Amino acid sequence: MFCEQCGAGLGPDARFCGRCGQPVRPASVGAPDERPDDTPDERLDTRAHEASPYTGEEPPLTQPRDPALAPPPIRPLTPVLDPAPGSA
């Protein structure tokens, strides 16, 4: 069963939607356990895609950092091995 307001999945004994708080109407006997066709599917939300359409242009390159401001390179640690017993 799904919330009629937001489409969230509901437990079999739910009286309110846990996501939006909408009261849950009791299911009629034999009603299919499906989302209504007019419920928006949040997986199909394309608002972010519509806000920034592809223009075919490359983004501007960032300027290289000043090497004097860069942190010093990190040297890899050299493992220190203990000599085998009896070899020293």
Q: Which of 9-13, 41-45, 62-66, 75-79 has the highest mean pLDDT?
A: 9-13
Question: What is the reported pLDDT for 88?
Answer: 57
Q: pLDDT tens across 24-54, in order?
A: 887 665 555 555 555 555 556 655 556 566 6
Question: What is the reported pLDDT for 65?
Answer: 64
Say how far apart CA 78 and CA 30 lie, in whole Å. Answer: 70
What φ, ψ does residue 43 adopt, rounded to 5°? Answer: -70, -20
Say how far apart CA 40 and CA 36 lie, in whole Å. Answer: 9
Of the candidates 8, 51, 11, the one whose C-alpha atom is nearest the C-alpha of residue 27 is: 11
Mean pLDDT calculated for residue range 62-75: 71
What φ, ψ does residue 16 adopt, rounded to 5°? Answer: -140, 150
